[in-house]
Amino acid sequence: MQPHERIIYALDVPDGREARRHAARLRGAVGVFKVGLELFVAEGPEIVKAIQDAGGPVFLDLKLHDIPATVEGALAAAAAMHPRFVTVHGDALIGLKGGLDARHPDLDVLAVTALTSLDVKSLSALGLGPALRDPEALAVARAKLARQKGCAGVVCSGREAAAVREVMGKGAVIATPGIRPTWARDDDDQRRTVSPAQAVAAGADYLVVGRPIRAAADPRAAAERIAQEIADAVTDAAAGAWP
């Protein structure tokens, strides 16, 4: 996989016209385009095909969270859109039967472990017990469940990626949001952020990046700069520069 192919660009924009513009501008500079709730609700399933045509593969980030029958039905509907990945909320895994990979062979389902906007205080406010108020503990617990249910991998912060990799094994996919290069502004709602190099060193396969690219004066140049940081980190890891 080429360095730029590891970048999932978050199309966190309000409408399809803006999303298609971003996809066309960044085609070939990133590997996958993330369609999240805001864009999907605004435009419907048609936006997935539009982004695939304009830019490339789609990461359908809906964080499906409902009763098992509804989640299974949504996964079947998602398969018809041919996304590269689709996400299920970690809590929704509880009621699902194992063997997701067998029941949905055309989908790579990723379980969302703990949102990068959460921290210890937030998890405590949600009423989680002491054992799961630590984001890493929660991410590891949900990663274990994801493996049992047949998920292709998980979405987790780079701060938990190393621990999650130990649980999921080498073949699983780890996608890491909350990526903030040292040269990018970070005055937003993310709490558990890491740099591209830190994410790669921790074992992430894909890096979900939005604002650092979107807010740049030259988004394509920003994406290329992140791809170079990924390439350098991969080289360092191969040379044993990372612990």
Residues acting as catalytic residues: 63
Beta bridge partners of 59: 34, 85
Two structure tokens written together for 146: 């994801």
Write the DSSP assignment of the chain as a string of letters: --GGGGEEEE---SSHHHHHHHHHHHBTTBSEEEE-HHHHHHH-THHHHHHHHHT--EEEEEEE-S-HHHHHHHHHHHHTT--SEEEEEGGGGGGSPS-HHHHSTT--EEEE-S-TT--HHHHHHTT--GGGSSHHHHHHHHHHHHHHHT-SEEE--HHHHHHHHHHH-TTSEEEE--B--TTS---SS--S-B-HHHHHHHT-SEEEE-HHHHTSSSHHHHHHHHHHHHHHHHHHHHTT---
What are the φ and ψ backbone dihedral angles of 224, each rounded to 5 degrees? -65, -35
